[in-house]
């Protein structure tokens, strides 16, 4: 050891270079070993590196509060993991997500929609393949049965876990029904029953409000009517429409009669409703006593207005089963995330950790996971109990297949249906002309 290769501070107190190296090495090893022990929590924590994860979802205040609490719990379990949260309404949610993905700025964990976004994003490689993590045990899917996992898969690859199940329903304003002394619909009922009830409500309300929202321009409501009437899905496997001018004419004529009778909301008031923005629904604004929405709408709409809300099935248009259960929303990880293992651990806790599940409760709807259902059953609020009972009631009957097709142009056709429906409602287009025009332009859009 030559004395010129290091600094001497004091006589007789110099540290040899090799010894310095040895000390540094030992300290490094010791600190890392101590760090491992220091960060130890549950056994899974060993592979979870500290990270800041961005998580986005859509929903209202109650959901946001519950989700943040759940994330706080998860952060406490995995020290070093922190969250940046963003939430918004559903309108514009996926526009924003697409832009973020394109800009390389995608969030790590994202709440996903069943149709068409899951198939769209899954097939484009935007979402992380969760299969390997299930196999290694890093992702705990013990609460999900095969059907649930299948609903989160695209072409056999698991991209998302369903957080809740939902079904098409009629949302009833119980307060208004009670006010008028009219009995609520229960069990299965037909569209003729619906038409009669809407007229009855309008007459009894005497100008204060009308029977129902005008759903003639909403293709998702038409779809359920069509499935019940014909037993077929709207799109065949080749991606073509299966409905005819007769079907469309029957649908629009049914609503035109209700419009003439005055038992549904005026077209201009209905047109002010932006799809995806619940606060603009005439039903939420107190202008009608019935509307159509997914069953978990009972909870989401309840928080936007003061009256009590109840559920009924969507009226049946024929002898074929028309109610179906589909995931309300799902949770996914984006493929471009920098911390896949941490994200998987977080999602795993999100869907299987008992404390987390209790905090999340039913803010996303009736849970798809049986673990969650069992945990929550004893302590459900009255509203949540109604939700669970409704899903059980529907699931126990004959179910139709959930429409989950995703073809290019489907969103365009959806919007075309709304435009034609509005034109017919405003009297700018005759029903037969509108029906034919819709089918012609829809074929064009699907073939684009």
Partner 1 sequence: MAVSFYLSFTNFDLLTTPDLVGARNYAYLLRDPRYAQSLFVTFVYVAVSVPLKLVVALALALLLSRSSFGIGPYRAIFYLPSLLGGSVATAIVWRIVFGADGIFNVALGWFGIEGRSWISTPETSLATLIALAVWQFGAPMVIFLAALKQIPAELYEAAAIDGAGRIRMFGAITLPLLTPIIFFNLVLQVINSFQTFTPSYVISGGTGGPSDTTLLYSLYLYLEAFTKLRMGYASAMAWVLLAIIGAITAALFATSRRWVFYADQGDRS
> Residues interacting with partner 1, by CB under 8 A?
91-92, 94-95, 98-99, 101-102, 121, 124-126, 266-272, 274-275, 277, 280, 285, 411-412, 415, 418-419, 422-423, 426, 428, 441, 448
Shorter beta-carbon distance to partner 1: residue 288 or 387: 288
Shorter beta-carbon distance to partner 1: residue 68 or 419: 419
Residue in the structure block whose two tokens are 């964990």? 109
- Can you list the positions of beta strands (E) in 335-444? 366-367
Dihedral sign of CA atoms 362, 365, 366, 368 in order? negative
Distance CA 369, CA 408 (A): 31
C-beta of 106: minimal distance to partner 1 in Å? 10
Distance CA 89, CA 314 (A): 25
User: To the nearest 10°, the Cα dihedral for 46, 49, 54, 60?
Assistant: 20
C-beta of 151: minimal distance to partner 1 in Å? 23
Shorter beta-carbon distance to partner 1: residue 235 or 324: 235
C-beta of 375: minimal distance to partner 1 in Å? 37
C-beta of 98: minimal distance to partner 1 in Å? 6
* 427 burial via Cβ count (<10 Å: 0-12, 13-18, 19+): exposed
C-beta of 447: minimal distance to partner 1 in Å? 11
C-beta of 214: minimal distance to partner 1 in Å? 12
Contact present, 349 and 77 (Cβ < 8 Å): yes
Shorter beta-carbon distance to partner 1: residue 92 or 354: 92
Shorter beta-carbon distance to partner 1: residue 267 or 403: 267
Contact present, 251 and 438 (Cβ < 8 Å): no
Q: Is 109 helix (H, G, I), strand (E, B) or coil?
A: strand
DSSP character for 319?
S
Shorter beta-carbon distance to partner 1: residue 403 or 421: 421
* H/E segment holding residue 176: helix 174-180
C-beta of 251: minimal distance to partner 1 in Å? 18
Tokens, residue 48: 């979870």
Shorter beta-carbon distance to partner 1: residue 277 or 398: 277
Contact present, 233 and 167 (Cβ < 8 Å): no
C-beta of 212: minimal distance to partner 1 in Å? 17
For residue 217, give Cα distances in angstroms to 409, 423, 445.
18, 9, 18
> For 106-143, b where at least 16 C-beta lie within 10 A, e where not — what string?
bbbbbbbbbbbbbbbbbeeebbbbbeebbeeebbbbeb
Contact present, 329 and 161 (Cβ < 8 Å): no
Shorter beta-carbon distance to partner 1: residue 40 or 102: 102
Distance CA 165, CA 245 (A): 33
C-beta of 202: minimal distance to partner 1 in Å? 17
Shorter beta-carbon distance to partner 1: residue 18 or 448: 448
């Amino acid at each position: 050891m030559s004395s010129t290769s290091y600094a001497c501070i004091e006589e007789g107190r110099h540290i040899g270079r090799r010894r310095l190296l040895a000390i540094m090495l030992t300290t490094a090893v010791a600190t890392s070993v101590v760090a491992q022990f220091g960060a130890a929590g549950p056994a899974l924590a060993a592979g979870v590196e500290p990270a800041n994860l961005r998580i986005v979802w859509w929903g209202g205040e109650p959901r946001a509060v519950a989700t943040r609490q759940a994330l706080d719990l998860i952060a406490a379990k995995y020290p070093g993991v922190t969250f940046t949260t963003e939430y918004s309404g559903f309108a514009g949610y996926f526009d924003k997500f697409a832009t973020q993905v394109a800009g390389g700025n995608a969030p790590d964990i994202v709440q996903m929609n069943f149709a068409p976004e899951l198939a769209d994003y899954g097939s484009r490689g935007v979402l992380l393949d969760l299969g390997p993590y299930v196999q290694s045990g890093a992702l705990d899917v013990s609460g999900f049965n095969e059907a649930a996992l299948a609903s989160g898969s695209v072409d056999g690859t698991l991209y998302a876990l369903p957080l809740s199940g939902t079904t098409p329903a009629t949302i009833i304003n119980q307060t208004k029904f009670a006010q008028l002394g009219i009995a609520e619909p229960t069990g299965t009922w037909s569209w003729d029953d619906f038409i009669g009830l809407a007229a009855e409500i309008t007459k009894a309300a005497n100008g204060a409000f009308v029977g129902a929202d005008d759903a003639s321009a909403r293709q998702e409501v038409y779809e359920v009517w069509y499935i019940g009437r014909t037993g077929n899905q709207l799109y065949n496997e080749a991606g073509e429409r299966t409905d005819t001018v007769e079907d469309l004419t029957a649908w629009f004529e049914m609503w035109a009669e209700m419009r003439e009778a005055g038992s549904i909301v005026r077209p201009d008031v209905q047109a002010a409703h932006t799809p995806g923005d619940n606060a603009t629904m005439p039903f939420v604004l107190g202008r009608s006593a019935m509307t159509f929405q997914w069953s978990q709408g009972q909870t989401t709409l309840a928080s936007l207005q003061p009256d009590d809300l109840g559920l009924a099935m969507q009226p049946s248009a024929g002898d074929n089963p028309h109610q179906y259960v589909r995931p309300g929303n799902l949770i996914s990880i984006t493929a471009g995330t920098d911390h896949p293992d941490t994200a998987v651990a977080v999602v795993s806790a999100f869907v299987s950790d008992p404390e987390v599940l209790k905090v999340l409760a039913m803010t996303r709807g009736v849970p798809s996971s049986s673990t969650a259902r069992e945990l929550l059953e004893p302590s459900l609020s009255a509203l949540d109990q109604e939700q669970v009972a409704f899903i059980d009631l529907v699931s126990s009957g004959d179910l139709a297949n959930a429409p989950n097709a995703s073809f290019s142009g489907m969103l365009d056709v959806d919007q075309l249906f709304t435009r034609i429906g509005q034109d017919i409602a405003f009297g700018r287009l005759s029903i037969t002309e509108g029906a034919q025009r819709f089918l012609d332009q829809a074929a064009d859009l699907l073939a684009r």
